[in-house]
Structures are given as C-alpha cells and as structure tokens.
Amino acid sequence: MKRNKEKLQCMHAAKMIPAFISKELSYRELERFMEHMEECDNCREELSIQFLVEVGLNSLEAGNTFDLQEELNTALEEARKKVKIYRFFRHGLFILECIGIAAVLLLTVLLILNFAG
C-alpha cells in the first residue's frame, strides 16, 4: 500500500512541476511540492529534466547565455525561502488565534463572575 501512495504522490508532484517552473503554485501547494522534492530523488530528477527543457528552450530562443543547473538551484532556494516565510506566518497566525480565544474565554468568565456576584 505504501508504494501505491508514493506513486500517487509522485504523479501529483510531477503534475505540479510546470506550475512550479512558471511560479504559479500557491504557498500551500509550494510547501507540499517542496516537501516531496526533498524526499524523492525520482521527482527531483523529473523536475531537473523539465526545468532544463522549459527554461533552456526559452533561454535559447531569447539568445541568452545561461547556467541551467544554477538557475534551478536558485529557483529551489527561492521556493525554500517562500515556504519558510509561509510557515512562520502560519504559525504566528495560529498563536494569535490562540491568544484571541484565550481573551474571549477570559472575558466570558469575567462577565459571568460579574453578573453572578
């Protein structure tokens, strides 16, 4: 069963590669995509191939000089930074929500005590 799950994850990740290359993934999609890429050698290889073909062809058509491996490494590093920032804000939002809930509960208790006493 585990192998089928991995296959499905790989198929989903492979479908996300064009959106990654064109920087069209949402933060949540990017987070899942990067987690999978960190764990899966086969998908990283597929990403590398598709990146080299897509970006390489565009660079050739534009007549630009390029280092595709460096460009891929830069794109992956930028994605890692985006995921890190996304996680930071997501955790910060969770903490603020907890503080808000605690404040509402405290206010409710104080109101009950005020009316009861």
Residue 104: C-alpha distances to residues 61, 92, 101 (Å): 60, 18, 5
48 versus 55: the higher-pLDDT residue is: 48
| Sign of the Cα pseudo-torsion (37, 24, 15, 66, in order) | negative
Q: Note the pLDDT of residue 1.
A: 45
CB–CB of 37/79 below 8 Å? Answer: no
pLDDT in tens, 1-53: 456 566 768 999 999 999 999 999 999 999 999 999 999 999 999 999 999 88
Query: From CA 9, how far away is CA 15, in angstroms rounded?
Result: 10
CB–CB of 72/51 below 8 Å? Answer: yes
pTM of the model: 0.66
In three-state secondary structure terms, 48 is helix
Q: Note the pLDDT of residue 68.
A: 79
Q: Note the pLDDT of residue 80.
A: 93
